[in-house]
A and B are shown apart, each in its own frame.
Chain A
Amino acid sequence: QTRTVTGIVTDSKTGQPLAGVTITVVGTNIAALTDTTGAYRVAVDSRADRLTFSSIGYTEQRVPIAGAQLNVRLVPEITNLDNVVVIAYGTRRKTDLTGAVTAITAKDFQKGNIASSEQLLQGKVAGLQVTSGGGAAGGGSKIRIRGAASLNASNDPLIVIDGVPVEGNSVSGSANLLNTINPNDIESISILKDASATALYGSRATNGVMIITTKKGASGKPRFNFNTRGSLGVVAKKIDVLSGDQIRDIVNASGNNTYIPLLGTANTDWQNEIYRSAAGFDNNLSVSGRADLGTSVKLPYRLSAGYLTQQGNLKTNNFDRFTTALNLNPKFFQDHLSININAKYANTKNVFADEGAIGAAVAFDPTQSVRKDWNRFSGFYEWVQANGDVNKNASRNPVALLELKDNRSSVDRFIGNVQLDYKLHFLPDLHVLVNLGVDQSTGSGTAILDSTSAISVTDFSGLGNISRYKQSKKSQLADVQLFYQKDLSDGYKIDALLGHGYQDFFTTDYNFYNLYQTGKEVPGQEINYPVVKNGYGIDSYLGRLNFTMAGNYLLTATLRRDASSKFSRENRVGYFPSFAFAWKLKEAFFQSTSINELKLRLGWGITGQQDGIAYNSYLPLYYQSQSSAQYQFGDVFYRLYRPTAFNKDLKWETSGTFNAGIDFAFAQNRINGSMDVYSKRTKNLLSYVDIAPGSNFDITQLRNIGELKNTGFEFSINTVPYKNEDFSWDLNFNFTYNKSEIKALYSNVKDPEYKGFPVSGITGGTGNKVGIHAVGYAPYTFFVRQQVYDSGGKPIEGLYEDVNRDGKISDADNSYYKKPAPDFLFGMATGVTYKKLSVGITGHGMAGNYLYNNYNANSAVLRNVLNPVISLGNTGANYLETNFANNQYLSNYYIENASFFRIDNINMGYNFGKISQSRFRLSVNASVQNVAVFTKYSGADPESANSSGVDNNIYPRPRIFSLGANLDF
C-alpha cells in the first residue's frame, strides 16, 4: 500500500524555496527532487517511516513521516560548521567522525593583530604546537602536530587550502608563505591528527594535515563587512647586558694596555638603538551574497580585499600585504552541477632588516657612541685597526647594519582552483568531482649595501653591493573523484570515494650577477645556469569506504597509492592504508540520559613522508662548479664536473599510527570535549648515517635506517560553567603529552662506544655541537659536559665531571642531558559575555622543554669584552655570576629549563548591534597580545622555534596593543 507525501523545502535562513533537493525514502531506492518552487511529491510504502532531505551546501535532514504534508527547512552548512567538519576529500558530520580531527572556526580563532594564518590556532588545539619564529613583521612559525616524526625530512604538516595541497616551503623573498593568506578570509581550519584522518593524503600525511577553508558566499542580498585594526607593538624584553661604565671598570681592572686605549666614553644601550615601537594597520572589506541568474542558476559569491601594513620592531623592518579573494559557487541543472571557484591573490612587500644587528647589539661595546666624527662609514662608529684597515673580525656597528643596507622583496602568490561537482541525473547517489588547481608564487628582491658600510669596504672594495634574486614556484593539481552514497535499510549506510590525482611542484631559480652600487659587475662571476628549474610530481589513486551499521557503528577504510618522482622506479610506489572504527555509545546505551554525546574511536593507519627529501637523491648526477670554484691548467681556468652522492635505495619514511579516542558531551552540551591516546612509529626513518668512506661520494648519507616513536595523550574540554540570558562564561582547556624516542639509527651498530649522531651546531667555535640523535633518547637530546660547582654554587670554569674516570676531560666525558622538546603542552581560553560586552583571555604553555642559552655561552665571558681580535665587546649580566674568562661552550650550565606559560591575548569587545535603525551593525574591540610570560628561563624568550633547542638572538616577539572595529551592512 503506498501513499503520497508532499511538501515544500525552504532555506531555514532566508525562507526561500530550494530547488533540486533530493528526497529519499529511508531504506528504499525511491527518490524525488524538489522543483523550482521547492515543492516535491514522493510515493512511499506504508512501512516507510522517514525521509531524508539532502542538498549540497545544506545539512542533511532525516524527518519522520507524519501525515501527507511535510514541509522542511534545510539549514545551510555554512552556518553550521560546528557540526560539519572539513576532512580529507570531503566533509563529515562531527558526530560521524572516526578519526582524530579538530576543527576551529573563525569565532574561536586567536584574536588581535594576526598577520599569518597559522597563528590563529596558537594554543587552541590539543596536540598542535604553533611557535612563531620571532617577532619579524610577516615572519613564519614552526607548526608541529603531535611532535616530530622525522629527524631529517620535514616535520611540517601538509597544508591544504580549499582542496589544493600547497607548497610548504617559502619562495625567495618571503619569510613565510602562509602570510599570503589573509586570516580574515578563513572560515575554518581543520587539524587532522591521526593516521585514519590523514592517510588519504598518503605520502604527505605523516605530520598531520591542516585544511584551511575560506569563506564563501551565503545567500540573499549583498552583505558588506568592513573591519579595521590599528596596532602598536613594543619590545617586551631585552637581553640583560652590561653598561658602558661596567665595561670600563672591567677593562681598566684588567690592566691590559692593548685594550684600555680602545675604551670609549659613551654609555650606549645598543638594543635601544636598534629597536622601535612598531605600528600596524589592517583593513579588510568583503561583500557576499547570492545572485539568482534566471530561474535555475544561483550564484553565491564572496569577494574580499585586504590591506595590511606592519612595521617590525627592528628598525627598517616592514611588511605590507595586499590580498584579494573571490569565491563563486554557482549551481546549474537543478543543482545537479555545482561549481566552486576559489581564487586568491596576494602581493606582499617585505623590507628585511639585517637581523645580524640583533646579535651585534648585545655584543657591541657600549662605551662607543653610535656615531663618530669622521667621514668614514657614513659617520657611524666602526672598529678599525691601528693600520687603518677595518677590523674585519670585530662586531659591526648594529645601527649601521640596519641603516646602510636596503633589502626589499616583492612576492606575488596566486592560488586558484575550480571544482566541478556533478550529480548524475540518472543516478543521484553518484557524483563526480573534478578539481583543477594551481598555486603559483614568485618572489624577487634586491639587497643594496651602501658603499660606505664597513662590509662594503672589506668585501666589495668599498664600492657597495647590489644583489638580486628571483624565484618562482608553481604547483599544478588535477584530481578526479567519484562519490557514491547510499542509504540501505535501517541505519545502514554506505558512502564511498574513488579518486585519481596528479600534482607537481616546480621551483625555478633565476640567477643574477652581483653588482657594485655603481651598477658595474663585481668581478669573478660567470653564471653557468641563469635559470634552473627542478621539482617533483606525485601520481595518486585513492579510495575510501564509510560504512554505517545499525546507526551506531561507523567504519572507515581508506587506501592511497602514491608514486613520487623523488624515488627510483623500483621504490617509487607506496601504499598507505587506514582503518577506523567508531561506536556511538550514547545511541547504544545512554539514549535517554543527560549525556549528549559519547563516542569511542579507534584508528590505525600508515602514512608516508617525502617532504624535505631532495628531488633527485636517487640519481647519479654531476654538477658543474660555479665560476669561483675552477681550476687552472696552464693559463686557462676550467669549470669542474663534480659527482654527487646518490642513494638509489631511497624511499619514503612510513609511520604506523594507532589512535584511541573518546568524544563526550553532557549537560546540554555545556561540557564537551575529547580525549585521545596515540602511538606513532616511524620506520624507514631517514637518518644521516656515516657510510664507509670510499663507497660513495660522501661520508654520510640519508638512508632509510632508523626508527622513531612518538606516544602521547591529548585532552581537550570546553565548558560553559555559567549561562543565563545576559551573562555567559566559557572556559576551555587543552592538554597534550608527547614523548619522542629514537628507537634505531643504524642497522649495523657494532661499536659499543658509539654515542650517536652529533647535531645542534651553536654560535661560537667553528663546528661545536651540543646535541645528539641517539638510540633510546629524544631527538636533539643535549650531549654536553657536566659542570662542577663550588660550595657557593658557582660554576668552576673548565671543571667538569670526569665521567669515564680516565683522568682527563675530553669528548668521551660528554653525557646525555635533557632535551629541547616539551613533555607537555597546554592551552587555555576563557571568556565572559555580558549583554553586548565580551572579555576573553587566552594563553598557552609548555613544560619539560630545555634550551641551550647560546647567548650566555658565547658572550657572557671576559673573552668577549677583551676580544682576541683586538676590539672590545659587551657581555651578558651572566658574566657577573660566572666570571668565566673563556668560553665553556660544552658546559651543561648553559642548558636551562625553559618551561613557561604565556598569556597570549587579553581582548575586550563591545557589540553595538544595529546602529539606531540603520542597516549598519557595529562592534569594536581592543586587545593586548603577548601580555606576559612566566618562566624561570634567563634568556630573552623561553619559546624557541628551533628544533635543536639552541637559543641565539631571537628577534623579540612584540607585545602588541591593538584597537579594531567591525562593521556589517
Chain B
Amino acid sequence: KKLDIYPTNAMTPGEVYKTTEGYKGVLAKIYATLSGTGNQGPAGDPDIGGGLDEGSQVPFIRAFFNAQELPTDEAVVAWNDQTIQDFHNLKVTSGDPFLKGMYARPIWNITLINEYIRQTSDSAMKANGISDADAAGIKATRGEARFMRAFNYWVMLDLFGKSTFITEADPIGYFLPREISRKDLFAYIETELKTALTELPPAKTVEYGRVDQGAANALLARLYLNAVVYTGTPKYTEAITYAKNVINAGYKLADNYRSLFMADNNINGRDEFIFTANCDGLTGKAYGNTTFFIHAAAGDDNKEFGANSGWFGYRATKGLAVLFPDLSGNTDKRAMFKTSKFDATLNQAEIDDVTNFTNGLHVNKYRNIRLDGGEVSDPNSEFADIDFPIIRLPELYLIYAEAVLRGGTGGDLATARSYVNLIRSRAGATSINLSDLTLQFVLDERGRELYWESHRRTDLVRYNLLTTGTYLWPWKGGVASGTAVNSKYNIYPVPAANISSNSNLSQNNGY
C-alpha cells in the first residue's frame, strides 16, 4: 500500500537478522552498551532518552563510577549538576536522575540481549533464512550474550538489591515486567553463568574484546565473595574454586601497572584483562567512557592525562591518599596523583570545599597516552582510546586471599600471600609477611590496586564500612570530618519514576 513508507536508512528486524553480518552488528552493540551511549558517538541519537543526559547519566562506565566510587573515600566532585553532590554525601533519593540512568542502562542492555537470544534460537534462525552453516557460528555466541546479561543483572543486584526481571520469554511492547528479589536474582545469575560456562569458548581462545569462560568464572567468583551481602549465606569456598579457575587459566600480570590504563592498554593489558569495555578516540566516542576519566579528573594539568582539556571535576579524598606510604609513586607505582599545583603532597590532598577543584587529589591513573609513544587515535586528544578493565587478574588474586581469610576452603594463606606479593612486587611495593595478611590489609590492597575501577562501594559494603561510624573519610555523609549515615544507603533506592510506571516494582527499605 502506498502509505507503507519506510526510511532508506533503517532496517526491520527481518532485514537485520537475515545475515551473519547483521547478527554480529547486534552482538557488537551488546558489548558496546558498556562503553558507548548511542548511535552517533560521542553524542546524539542516544540509546536511552527520557530527559537523561547522554554524556553523564546513561553511560555505563561513568554512571557505574558515580555509583561505586563517589559515595566512598575514593572520589568527590566539584560540580553542581543536579543531584551529583548527593552521592558523596550519602543522601541520594529515589528521585535522583543519575540513579535513574544507572537503573535504565543495565535493563536496556538486557532488553537488547533478550532480543538477541530470541533471534539466535534454532527456530528463529531458520525463520530468518540463516543457513545451517552460518547458524552454528551464530549459536556459538549465545554464551557471550548470556554472560553479558548475567553481568548486567549483577550490576542491578549489587546496586539496587533487586531488579526488573525480563528474559527472552518477555515481549517488547508496552507491559509491566515482573520484579525479582535479591535472593532469586542471585540464583538466576549463578545458574545463568554456569550455563554460559557450557556455551562459552575456553579462556584465552577468543579474539580480544570478547568474553570466554574466564570471564564467567571470574564473575562467579565475584558473586560468591559477596554472597553474604546478597543472600545472607556465605559462599567463600565457591569463591575460591572459581577464582582458581581463572587464575589457572593462563592469564598473567602485565609488567607495568601504569600501562594498564593507557591508550594502548589493549596491547599491554591483553594478558591480564579478563573482561573489558573497549573505547576508541576515533571509532568509539563517548563522554561517559574512559574519556570521562581523562577529563573529569584533570584541571590545567590536562597534558598529564593526555587530554586536550580538564573538566575540573573529580578528585580523591585523603582516605585514598593514606593507603599509600607516600604519594610520589616511588614506594608504590600505583600512586598516580597530582594536585592543582601538579605535585601531590598529603597537605594538598585536604579538601576544605568540595566544590573547589583546587582542593583534593587529582587521580592521574587513566592517561590517553600510548606507552609505545605512538599517536593516539583522536588527533585532538578529546576522546580516549583507553579500554576500561571491568575484570582483571589481580581482583581474582584478592578474591582468593579474602575468601581464604573469611574461612573458605580449597585455598591456603601461603598461596594467598604469594598472590598478593605478585601484585605488590609489580607495583614496586614491599612484600608482605603472612602475618600482615589480614582482612583489613586485603581491603586496603584492593584500594591501592583497584581504586577508580568501580569496586570501592561493593567492598566497603562487604566490610560493613560504607554507612557505619567505624571508618570515616572526609566529607562522608556531607560533613568535613565524616559521619555515619543510615544503613539504608548500603543499597540504592529504586528510581521513583520506575515504580510509578511499573506497579510490580517495590521500593527498598527506608526510601
Binding site for B on A (CB under 8 A): 258, 385-387, 389-393, 458-461, 502, 504, 523-524, 528-529, 531-537, 539, 563-565, 569, 572, 615-616, 619-635, 637-644, 647-649, 688-701, 703, 746, 748-751, 753-754, 757-759, 765-769, 808, 810-812, 868-870, 886-887, 889
- Whether B164 and A386, one on each chain, are in contact in the complex, defined by CB atoms closer than 8 angstroms, is no
Q: Which of A534, A696, A698 contacts B173 (CB 8 A)?
A: A696
Bitwise, B477-511 to A at CB < 8 A (1) or not (0) is 00000000000000000001111111111000000
Residues of B within 8 A of A753 (CB): 496
Residues of B within 8 A of A626 (CB): 39-41
- Whether B107 and A694, one on each chain, are in contact in the complex, defined by CB atoms closer than 8 angstroms, is yes
Q: 29 interchain pairs (CB within 8 A)?
A: A387-B303, A458-B380, A524-B283, A533-B8, A534-B8, A565-B4, A569-B1, A620-B13, A622-B13, A622-B16, A624-B25, A629-B36, A632-B208, A632-B278, A633-B207, A633-B209, A634-B209, A635-B208, A640-B25, A642-B39, A691-B174, A692-B498, A693-B498, A694-B170, A695-B176, A699-B52, A765-B80, A767-B52, A768-B81
Give, as a whole number of angstroms, the nearest-CB distance from A838 to chain B: 53
Known: A630-B28, A637-B284. 11 other contacts (CB 8 A): A461-B380, A616-B10, A621-B7, A632-B266, A632-B278, A640-B36, A642-B29, A693-B177, A694-B110, A695-B166, A748-B503
Give, as a whole number of angstroms, the nearest-CB distance from A810 to chain B: 6
Q: Which of A386, A393, A694 contacts B166 (CB 8 A)?
A: A694
- Whether A868 and B172, one on each chain, are in contact in the complex, defined by CB atoms closer than 8 angstroms, is no
Residues of A within 8 A of B80 (CB): 765, 886-887, 889
Residues of A within 8 A of B12 (CB): 619-622
| Minimum CB distance partner of A696 in chain B | B172
- Whether B174 and A633, one on each chain, are in contact in the complex, defined by CB atoms closer than 8 angstroms, is no
Stretch at the interface among B220-228, B306-314, B403-411: B306-314
- Whether B300 and A870, one on each chain, are in contact in the complex, defined by CB atoms closer than 8 angstroms, is yes
Give, as a whole number of angstroms, the nearest-CB distance from B168 to chain A: 12
- Whether B16 and A633, one on each chain, are in contact in the complex, defined by CB atoms closer than 8 angstroms, is no
How many residues of B are in contact with the other chain, CB < 8 A?
A: 110
Tell me whether A616 and B78 are in contact in the complex, defined as CB-CB below 8 angstroms, given that A691-B501, A693-B107 are known contacts: no
Interface membership of B57, Cβ < 8 A: yes
Interface membership of B169, Cβ < 8 A: no
> When chains A and B are docked, how far (Å) is the Cα of A219 from the Cα of B9?
52
- Whether B309 and A458, one on each chain, are in contact in the complex, defined by CB atoms closer than 8 angstroms, is yes
- Whether A694 and B7, one on each chain, are in contact in the complex, defined by CB atoms closer than 8 angstroms, is no
Q: Which of B282, B286, B309 contacts A524 (CB 8 A)?
A: B282
| Minimum CB distance partner of A700 in chain B | B50
Give, as a whole number of angstroms, the nearest-CB distance from A664 to chain B: 46
- Whether B176 and A765, one on each chain, are in contact in the complex, defined by CB atoms closer than 8 angstroms, is no
- Whether B299 and A694, one on each chain, are in contact in the complex, defined by CB atoms closer than 8 angstroms, is no
| Minimum CB distance partner of A525 in chain B | B282
- Whether A528 and B300, one on each chain, are in contact in the complex, defined by CB atoms closer than 8 angstroms, is no
- Whether B284 and A631, one on each chain, are in contact in the complex, defined by CB atoms closer than 8 angstroms, is yes
B9, B22, B36, B82: most-surrounded residue (chain A CB, <10 A): B9
Q: Which of A458, A532, A622, A692 contacts B502 (CB 8 A)?
A: A692
Tell me whether A765 and B81 are in contact in the complex, defined as CB-CB below 8 angstroms, given that A641-B11, A696-B173 are known contacts: yes
Tell me whether A387 and B300 are in contact in the complex, defined as CB-CB below 8 angstroms, given that A621-B7, A697-B172, A699-B48 are known contacts: yes
- Whether A459 and B11, one on each chain, are in contact in the complex, defined by CB atoms closer than 8 angstroms, is no
Residues of A within 8 A of B250 (CB): none
Residues of B within 8 A of A622 (CB): 10-13, 15-16, 26
Interface membership of B5, Cβ < 8 A: yes
Binding site for A on B (CB under 8 A): 1-13, 15-16, 22, 24-26, 28-29, 31-32, 35-36, 38-42, 45, 47-53, 55-57, 78-83, 91, 93, 95, 97, 100, 103-104, 107-108, 110-112, 115, 164-166, 170, 172-177, 207-210, 266, 278, 280, 282-286, 299-300, 302-303, 308-312, 355-358, 377-380, 382, 496-505
> When chains A and B are docked, how far (Å) is the Cα of A467 from the Cα of B36?
25
Q: Which of A531, A765, A889 contacts B79 (CB 8 A)?
A: A765
Q: Which of B1, B10, B358, B504 contacts A258 (CB 8 A)?
A: B358
B39, B172, B312: most-surrounded residue (chain A CB, <10 A): B39
Residues of B within 8 A of A886 (CB): 80, 355
Residues of A within 8 A of B25 (CB): 624, 638-641
A458, A631, A648, A700: most-surrounded residue (chain B CB, <10 A): A631
> When chains A and B are docked, how far (Å) is the Cα of A735 from the Cα of B104?
48
- Whether B9 and A528, one on each chain, are in contact in the complex, defined by CB atoms closer than 8 angstroms, is yes
> When chains A and B are docked, how far (Å) is the Cα of A561 from the Cα of B302?
62
Tell me whether A869 and B308 are in contact in the complex, defined as CB-CB below 8 angstroms, given that A535-B5, A694-B110 are known contacts: no
What 9 A-B pairs come out closest when comparing CB atoms? A629-B41, A634-B207, A392-B309, A692-B502, A524-B282, A641-B25, A628-B41, A700-B50, A751-B500
Residues of B within 8 A of A812 (CB): 93, 95
Q: Which of B32, B40, B53, B497 contacts A631 (CB 8 A)?
A: B32
> When chains A and B are docked, how far (Å) is the Cα of A751 from the Cα of B495?
12
Residues of B within 8 A of A641 (CB): 11, 16, 22, 25-26, 29
- Whether B497 and A690, one on each chain, are in contact in the complex, defined by CB atoms closer than 8 angstroms, is yes
| Minimum CB distance partner of A641 in chain B | B25
Residues of B within 8 A of A627 (CB): 283
Q: Which of A529, A628, A691, A869 contacts B285 (CB 8 A)?
A: A628
Residues of B within 8 A of A523 (CB): 282, 379
> When chains A and B are docked, how far (Å) is the Cα of A870 from the Cα of B29?
39
Residues of B within 8 A of A392 (CB): 308-309
Give, as a whole number of angstroms, the nearest-CB distance from B165 to chain A: 8
> When chains A and B are docked, how far (Å) is the Cα of A165 from the Cα of B334?
68
- Whether A766 and B8, one on each chain, are in contact in the complex, defined by CB atoms closer than 8 angstroms, is no
Tell me whether A625 and B39 are in contact in the complex, defined as CB-CB below 8 angstroms, given that A698-B48, A753-B496 are known contacts: yes
> When chains A and B are docked, how far (Å) is the Cα of A393 from the Cα of B310?
8
Residues of B within 8 A of A528 (CB): 9
- Whether B284 and A630, one on each chain, are in contact in the complex, defined by CB atoms closer than 8 angstroms, is yes
Give, as a whole number of angstroms, the nearest-CB distance from A416 to chain B: 23
Residues of B within 8 A of A385 (CB): 300, 302
> When chains A and B are docked, how far (Å) is the Cα of A531 from the Cα of B7?
11
> When chains A and B are docked, how far (Å) is the Cα of A757 from the Cα of B310?
33
> When chains A and B are docked, how far (Å) is the Cα of A520 from the Cα of B239?
55
Residues of B within 8 A of A621 (CB): 7, 10-12
- Whether B283 and A637, one on each chain, are in contact in the complex, defined by CB atoms closer than 8 angstroms, is yes
| Minimum CB distance partner of B16 in chain A | A622
Residues of A within 8 A of B97 (CB): 767
| Minimum CB distance partner of A645 in chain B | B49
Give, as a whole number of angstroms, the nearest-CB distance from B62 to chain A: 12
A386, A460, A766: most-surrounded residue (chain B CB, <10 A): A766
Tell me whether A386 and B283 are in contact in the complex, defined as CB-CB below 8 angstroms, given that A638-B25, A886-B80 are known contacts: no
Residues of B within 8 A of A868 (CB): 78, 312, 356-357
> When chains A and B are docked, how far (Å) is the Cα of A630 from the Cα of B35?
10
Residues of B within 8 A of A633 (CB): 28, 31, 207-210
A529, A534, A641, A768: most-surrounded residue (chain B CB, <10 A): A641
- Whether A393 and B309, one on each chain, are in contact in the complex, defined by CB atoms closer than 8 angstroms, is yes
Residues of B within 8 A of A750 (CB): 500, 503
- Whether B284 and A632, one on each chain, are in contact in the complex, defined by CB atoms closer than 8 angstroms, is yes
> When chains A and B are docked, how far (Å) is the Cα of A812 from the Cα of B91?
13
- Whether B41 and A460, one on each chain, are in contact in the complex, defined by CB atoms closer than 8 angstroms, is no
B174, B283, B308: most-surrounded residue (chain A CB, <10 A): B283
Give, as a whole number of angstroms, the nearest-CB distance from B15 to chain A: 8
Give, as a whole number of angstroms, the nearest-CB distance from B28 to chain A: 4
Residues of A within 8 A of B15 (CB): 622
> When chains A and B are docked, how far (Å) is the Cα of A563 from the Cα of B3?
8
- Whether B500 and A767, one on each chain, are in contact in the complex, defined by CB atoms closer than 8 angstroms, is no
- Whether B42 and A699, one on each chain, are in contact in the complex, defined by CB atoms closer than 8 angstroms, is no
| Minimum CB distance partner of A753 in chain B | B496
- Whether B108 and A697, one on each chain, are in contact in the complex, defined by CB atoms closer than 8 angstroms, is yes
Residues of A within 8 A of B51 (CB): 688, 700, 757-759, 769
A564, A700, A757: most-surrounded residue (chain B CB, <10 A): A700
Residues of A within 8 A of B103 (CB): 693
Q: Which of A644, A692, A889 contacts B176 (CB 8 A)?
A: A692
Residues of B within 8 A of A393 (CB): 309-312
| Minimum CB distance partner of B378 in chain A | A524
